[in-house]
């Protein structure tokens, strides 16, 4: 009986982890595609993709100085550093670091949205509004990426899909060769579904950006609210069960 209970609990944790991974992958794909469309080809999540675009722009005759793409990397780095400092402080105080990082990311995405709404149509990549919006978007995705690395190491990466594709192919070939078994199947699911969610998020963001403009950022903000609520609820339940174990 205990063995069955442990198996059910493990299966429940696996499903919960995969659901969170899918949600975070969707969010990253959505914000990345939105930034690319709304901010003149800026990647906010796949930050190294800006290096390729930066080189292409610099080599184009008559180009404008690509300040927005140059500032995206340090903004992303600041987001990662901010997440690390907040997580460390929360862990020292015994507070919920994951909930805190959800809140910080939500605030940054809200600022990203409000800058775009207040500035009206952003028509130049050198405008103050475009630069400020790009910086806050990249910082938000820096927090997003660091959150997974620091607090959710069991999840597949969500801000970049290259590693997921590589691991998925490796595990799939192992399965075809009759090796790996259940562990390989679990790894396939772990990397496959966040990748699909990232692509779906990017697709929906493209339509939403053209239809709703910067208001489309409400979707990832609401998603973070839902994730924050779920995390707070789970933390409360764990706290309620803790005395019973003693």
In a domain, 94, yes or no: yes
**Phi and psi of 126, rounded to 5°?**
-100, 0
Q: Which two tokens stand for residue 24?
A: 């975070």
What mean pLDDT is reported for the chain?
A: 88
In a domain, 1, yes or no: no
What's the pLDDT tens digit per position in 46-59? 888 888 888 888 88
Residue 127 confidence class, pLDDT cut points 50, 70, 90 = confident
In a domain, 137, yes or no: yes
In a domain, 176, yes or no: no
In a domain, 31, yes or no: yes
Worst-scoring range by mean pLDDT, 66-75, 96-105, 120-129, 208-217?
Answer: 120-129
> What is the average per-residue pLDDT within 158-178?
91
- The reported pLDDT for the residue numbered 68 is 87
pTM as predicted = 0.89
Compute the Cα dihedral for 142, 211, 202, 24 and give only its sign. positive
Q: Structural domain of residue 217, as residue ranges? A: 20-48+66-159+201-240
In a domain, 171, yes or no: no
In a domain, 121, yes or no: yes
Domain count, the chain: 1
Cβ atoms of 136 and 217 within 8 Å: the answer is: no
In a domain, 54, yes or no: no
């Amino acid at each position: 009986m205990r063995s069955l209970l442990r198996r059910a609990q493990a299966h429940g944790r696996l499903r919960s982890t995969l659901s969170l991974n899918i949600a975070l992958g969707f969010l990253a794909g959505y914000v990345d595609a939105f930034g690319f469309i709304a901010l003149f080809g800026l990647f906010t999540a796949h930050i190294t993709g800006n290096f390729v675009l930066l080189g292409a722009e610099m080599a184009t005759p008559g180009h404008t100085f690509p300040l927005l793409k140059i500032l995206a990397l340090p903004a992303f780095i600041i987001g990662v550093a901010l997440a690390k400092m907040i997580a460390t402080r929360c862990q020292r105080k015994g507070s919920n670091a994951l909930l805190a990082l959800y809140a910080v990311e939500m605030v940054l995405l809200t600022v990203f949205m409000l800058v775009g709404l207040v500035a009206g149509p952003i028509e130049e990549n050198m405008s103050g509004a475009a630069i400020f919006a790009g910086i806050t978007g990249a910082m938000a995705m820096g927090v997003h990426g660091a959150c997974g690395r620091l607090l959710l190491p069991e999840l597949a990466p969500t801000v970049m899909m290259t590693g997921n594709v590589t691991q998925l192919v490796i595990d799939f070939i192992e399965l075809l060769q009759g090796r790996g078994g259940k562990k390989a199947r679990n790894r396939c699911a772990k990397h496959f579904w966040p990748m699909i969610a990232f692509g779906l998020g990017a697709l929906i963001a493209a339509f939403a950006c053209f239809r709703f403009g910067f208001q489309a950022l409400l979707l990832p903000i609401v998603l973070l609210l839902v994730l924050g609520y779920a995390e707070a609820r789970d933390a409360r339940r764990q706290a309620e069960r803790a005395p019973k174990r003693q």
